Amino acid sequence: MRSVLTMLFFSFLFTVQVYGQSKSVFEKTVDSLNLIGQSEKIIPYLEMQVKNHPENEVLLRLTGYQYLQIGNLVLGEQYYRKALSINPSCARCYLNIGLIYAAKSDFTEALTYLDTAVAIDPMDDRVVDARGTIYHHLKQPEKALVDHVKAIQLNPNNLQAYLNKAEVHFELEDMDASYQDYTTAKLLAQQLKVNDPAFFKRIDDALLDFCDNSKASFYYQRGVAFYNLKKFDKALEIYDAGLTKFPNNAMLLSFRGNTHLALKDFKNAALNYDHALVNKEGLMRELKRNPRFAYMSEQDIQSYYNASTASIYYNNAECKVQSDNLDEGLSAINSAITLMSNGSSFEKELYWNRRGYIYLLQHQYKLALADFDQSIQSNEKYALAYVNRAIAQVCLSEKSKQSNIIISSKLPNQPFKMNWVMKSKKDKPNLLNALGDCNKAIELDPNNGFSYYVRGQIKQLLNDVDYCSDLLKAKRMAIQVEDILLVDCLK
């Protein structure tokens, strides 16, 4: 979705008015050139005027703004910085330079400039509203909401602030407040006789997306909101209502499956995922109808579809494994892996790790080891893959007994229970590699008791007298440590 947000941000950037005071002769000339359809003459005209008036702040800002209008961020920024050198208290200069950084996805630097702009002119509603948009992109919706509300208080006719506030309310799962913001913006725009089809389309698309109960999106958007608020019973209620109207809607089915999965109801979760996958082609139709994807190319929509379908297979694999259907779980995760995206935001490490987990349960340790290697290559900071790779390395020891080495514990913080028995200690290099993986896992996540549970057993195999400290620490961290492992630790 980042590409969608960036495009929306560009739209906001290039429609920001630069001036609130009466227009200068330069602005009037620019308006005239636009009216007679000669916009290509605007920048040459302004450049000529800049040569004659190199220290005119208004002219420099206007020239910078016109460069932004044609997408030239470099020259746009240069002119705003020139204006800023003449007037260090130019709040709108800081505003637009900040938005240029935002357009380049550097929201942290953008916030620095917007903070300065607000400090200079806290009564400028556009500046305050723009900072709220930056907060939104920085995943600080509460701060964003404060700024959007403040902008509306400063200027009750700031339509953009209503739209931005609606988006924040949507992110905060407050569908009703978001609906109210959109409808207020629409009514206000009609009263102000705004003639902007794109503005009204944005509102109407949003209202159709989650405010029209004749569409499946009405139900799954609200269901997701309840899910994110951990109100799972309410989420199930609205999914059930939606599926009464749209019984084969893959989106509703997959989201209801997610809710059952969160409740550890693996049987019902799997039933929903299976039903969703039978109807998975409906996901593509749903995405193409969704106005929030109107900005995306066919390729981007296909990638989003693949990622969504992969997620269903991934979750279904967990349900199958929890129900002891390892072969079905393996089939599901294989399907998920074939659909994995190459995008940097796609968490491939989880998928490789899940298949490796299944291979461990099937005692296919070489295949498991290969998948854990892949998981770590995908994300070197994914601690669980290191622990699981350590398990695979110990299990690959030639002298280890192959019966009851490893079983699924079906506990959320303890994927496996082990009771390794070695006939000899000849495979010390393998064990040392496994110990190194556990050390790395603990370095990455010192609060994961499972890592100490595994490391303690490996230390025991290596005759390390310190093994008890790890096992006892794991037990204190709510890991179920078998009594037989603690026999010599409790004396």
**pLDDT for 196-241, tens place per residue?**
888 898 888 888 777 788 889 889 989 999 999 999 999 999 999 9
Q: Which residue positions in the chain have pLDDT lower than 50?
A: 1-21, 403-404
pLDDT at residue 57, as a whole number: 92
pLDDT at residue 19, as a whole number: 40
Q: Which residues pair with 411 in a beta bridge?
A: 414
Q: Is residue 171 within 8 Å of residue 136, measured between CB atoms?
A: yes
Global confidence as pTM:
0.72
pLDDT at residue 264, as a whole number: 94
pLDDT at residue 294, as a whole number: 75
pLDDT at residue 24, as a whole number: 84
pLDDT at residue 158, as a whole number: 95
pLDDT at residue 419, as a whole number: 64
pLDDT at residue 427, as a whole number: 67
pLDDT at residue 130, as a whole number: 96
**pLDDT for 142-155, tens place per residue?**
999 999 999 999 99
Domains of the chain and any CATH numbers: 2-206 (1.25.40.10)
**pLDDT for 158-181, tens place per residue?**
999 999 999 999 889 888 899 899
pLDDT at residue 22, as a whole number: 64
CA 39 to chain centre: 39
